[in-house]
Structure 1
Amino acid sequence: MPRVAYFDCPSGVSGDMILGALLDVGLEGERLREALAGLPISGYELRWERVRKGPLAATQVTVTVTRRQPERHLAEVEAVLEAA
Protein backbone atom coordinates (compact mmCIF):
# COMPACT_ATOMS: atom_id res chain seq x y z
CA MET A 1 0.00 0.00 0.00
CA PRO A 2 1.53 3.35 -1.00
CA ARG A 3 1.98 6.03 1.63
CA VAL A 4 0.95 9.61 0.98
CA ALA A 5 1.89 12.87 2.67
CA TYR A 6 -1.19 15.10 2.62
CA PHE A 7 -0.59 18.82 3.06
CA ASP A 8 -3.70 20.71 4.17
CA CYS A 9 -2.24 24.09 3.33
CA PRO A 10 -5.32 26.25 4.09
CA SER A 11 -4.85 25.33 7.75
CA GLY A 12 -1.08 25.78 7.57
CA VAL A 13 1.98 23.58 7.61
CA SER A 14 5.39 24.00 9.20
CA GLY A 15 8.83 22.62 8.46
CA ASP A 16 8.74 20.15 11.33
CA MET A 17 5.35 18.88 10.16
CA ILE A 18 6.67 18.38 6.61
CA LEU A 19 9.71 16.48 7.90
CA GLY A 20 7.48 14.28 10.06
CA ALA A 21 5.24 13.52 7.08
CA LEU A 22 8.26 12.60 4.95
CA LEU A 23 9.51 10.25 7.65
CA ASP A 24 6.02 8.72 7.86
CA VAL A 25 6.00 7.92 4.14
CA GLY A 26 9.33 6.16 4.26
CA LEU A 27 12.20 8.64 4.28
CA GLU A 28 14.89 7.14 6.50
CA GLY A 29 15.93 9.40 9.35
CA GLU A 30 19.63 8.99 8.67
CA ARG A 31 19.11 9.93 5.01
CA LEU A 32 17.38 13.09 6.23
CA ARG A 33 20.35 13.87 8.51
CA GLU A 34 22.78 13.28 5.62
CA ALA A 35 20.81 15.57 3.32
CA LEU A 36 20.69 18.34 5.91
CA ALA A 37 24.41 17.92 6.64
CA GLY A 38 25.02 18.91 3.01
CA LEU A 39 23.63 22.38 3.68
CA PRO A 40 25.97 25.14 4.92
CA ILE A 41 24.08 25.56 8.19
CA SER A 42 24.89 24.36 11.68
CA GLY A 43 23.87 24.99 15.26
CA TYR A 44 20.83 22.74 15.45
CA GLU A 45 19.84 19.29 16.64
CA LEU A 46 17.20 17.14 14.98
CA ARG A 47 15.23 14.36 16.63
CA TRP A 48 12.01 12.52 15.95
CA GLU A 49 9.67 10.12 17.68
CA ARG A 50 6.38 8.33 17.03
CA VAL A 51 3.51 9.93 18.94
CA ARG A 52 -0.22 9.37 19.35
CA LYS A 53 -2.74 12.18 19.69
CA GLY A 54 -6.07 10.53 20.34
CA PRO A 55 -6.71 8.05 17.53
CA LEU A 56 -4.02 9.56 15.27
CA ALA A 57 -0.39 8.40 15.07
CA ALA A 58 2.39 10.48 13.54
CA THR A 59 6.09 11.21 13.62
CA GLN A 60 6.86 14.33 15.61
CA VAL A 61 10.07 16.09 14.58
CA THR A 62 11.78 18.51 16.95
CA VAL A 63 14.44 20.94 15.76
CA THR A 64 16.40 22.47 18.63
CA VAL A 65 18.55 25.52 17.90
CA THR A 66 21.84 25.15 19.77
CA ARG A 67 23.50 28.31 18.50
CA ARG A 68 22.17 31.73 17.58
CA GLN A 69 21.16 31.82 13.92
CA PRO A 70 21.36 34.77 11.55
CA GLU A 71 18.17 36.22 10.18
CA ARG A 72 17.69 34.86 6.67
CA HIS A 73 15.42 36.28 4.01
CA LEU A 74 13.84 34.18 1.26
CA ALA A 75 16.53 35.05 -1.31
CA GLU A 76 19.24 33.86 1.11
CA VAL A 77 17.40 30.61 1.84
CA GLU A 78 16.95 29.99 -1.89
CA ALA A 79 20.68 30.61 -2.49
CA VAL A 80 21.64 28.12 0.24
CA LEU A 81 19.35 25.47 -1.25
CA GLU A 82 20.54 26.07 -4.81
CA ALA A 83 24.19 25.78 -3.73
CA ALA A 84 23.61 22.44 -1.99
Structure 2
Amino acid sequence: MLTIEEYHNLNEPEKAVVILQGNFLADREENGLFVQLYSISKFYGELCYDLLANKILPGGPLKVFSNWCRILSRSVLICGTLAK
Protein backbone atom coordinates (compact mmCIF):
# COMPACT_ATOMS: atom_id res chain seq x y z
CA MET A 1 0.00 0.00 0.00
CA LEU A 2 1.15 3.48 -0.86
CA THR A 3 1.68 5.80 2.09
CA ILE A 4 0.87 9.51 2.11
CA GLU A 5 4.61 10.25 2.27
CA GLU A 6 5.28 8.14 -0.84
CA TYR A 7 2.37 9.86 -2.58
CA HIS A 8 3.84 13.31 -1.94
CA ASN A 9 7.10 12.23 -3.60
CA LEU A 10 5.30 11.52 -6.91
CA ASN A 11 5.01 14.02 -9.76
CA GLU A 12 1.58 15.48 -10.62
CA PRO A 13 0.66 12.99 -13.41
CA GLU A 14 1.64 10.07 -11.16
CA LYS A 15 -0.47 11.50 -8.33
CA ALA A 16 -3.50 11.66 -10.63
CA VAL A 17 -2.99 8.03 -11.68
CA VAL A 18 -2.78 6.93 -8.03
CA ILE A 19 -5.98 8.77 -7.17
CA LEU A 20 -7.84 7.31 -10.17
CA GLN A 21 -6.81 3.81 -9.07
CA GLY A 22 -8.58 4.44 -5.76
CA ASN A 23 -12.25 3.91 -5.01
CA PHE A 24 -14.55 6.65 -6.29
CA LEU A 25 -16.64 8.04 -3.42
CA ALA A 26 -18.42 11.19 -4.57
CA ASP A 27 -18.39 14.17 -6.84
CA ARG A 28 -19.46 17.77 -6.46
CA GLU A 29 -19.52 20.94 -8.46
CA GLU A 30 -17.25 23.79 -7.39
CA ASN A 31 -16.85 27.02 -9.35
CA GLY A 32 -18.22 25.39 -12.50
CA LEU A 33 -15.89 22.38 -12.29
CA PHE A 34 -16.52 18.83 -11.11
CA VAL A 35 -14.41 17.67 -8.19
CA GLN A 36 -14.21 13.93 -7.60
CA LEU A 37 -13.28 12.33 -4.27
CA TYR A 38 -11.43 8.99 -4.13
CA SER A 39 -10.27 6.71 -1.30
CA ILE A 40 -6.64 5.59 -1.74
CA SER A 41 -5.46 2.97 0.79
CA LYS A 42 -5.19 5.05 4.01
CA PHE A 43 -5.90 8.51 2.60
CA TYR A 44 -8.28 10.36 0.32
CA GLY A 45 -7.74 12.57 -2.72
CA GLU A 46 -9.66 14.92 -4.99
CA LEU A 47 -9.29 15.57 -8.71
CA CYS A 48 -10.78 18.28 -10.90
CA TYR A 49 -12.54 16.65 -13.82
CA ASP A 50 -13.97 18.02 -17.07
CA LEU A 51 -17.04 15.89 -17.84
CA LEU A 52 -17.55 17.29 -21.35
CA ALA A 53 -13.98 16.64 -22.43
CA ASN A 54 -13.80 13.43 -20.34
CA LYS A 55 -10.41 14.33 -18.88
CA ILE A 56 -8.64 15.44 -15.73
CA LEU A 57 -7.89 19.14 -15.72
CA PRO A 58 -4.24 20.25 -15.64
CA GLY A 59 -2.78 21.10 -12.28
CA GLY A 60 -3.14 17.63 -10.79
CA PRO A 61 -4.94 16.72 -7.59
CA LEU A 62 -6.56 19.48 -5.58
CA LYS A 63 -6.38 18.09 -2.07
CA VAL A 64 -5.25 15.00 -0.21
CA PHE A 65 -6.82 14.09 3.13
CA SER A 66 -5.29 11.89 5.80
CA ASN A 67 -8.54 11.18 7.59
CA TRP A 68 -12.10 10.28 6.68
CA CYS A 69 -14.28 12.86 4.99
CA ARG A 70 -17.92 12.66 5.94
CA ILE A 71 -20.14 12.96 2.90
CA LEU A 72 -23.49 14.53 3.76
CA SER A 73 -24.78 14.55 0.19
CA ARG A 74 -23.41 14.51 -3.35
CA SER A 75 -22.63 18.21 -3.01
CA VAL A 76 -21.73 18.70 0.66
CA LEU A 77 -18.49 17.34 2.09
CA ILE A 78 -17.25 17.77 5.64
CA CYS A 79 -13.51 17.12 5.85
CA GLY A 80 -11.05 16.87 8.64
CA THR A 81 -7.30 17.24 8.45
CA LEU A 82 -5.60 17.99 5.14
CA ALA A 83 -2.52 15.84 4.62
CA LYS A 84 0.77 17.71 4.34
Higher strand share: 2
Report TM bin, short chain: under 0.3
User: Normalising by structure 2, what TM-score?
Assistant: 0.27
If asked which structure has higher relative contact order (CA below 8 Å, sep 6+), I would say 1
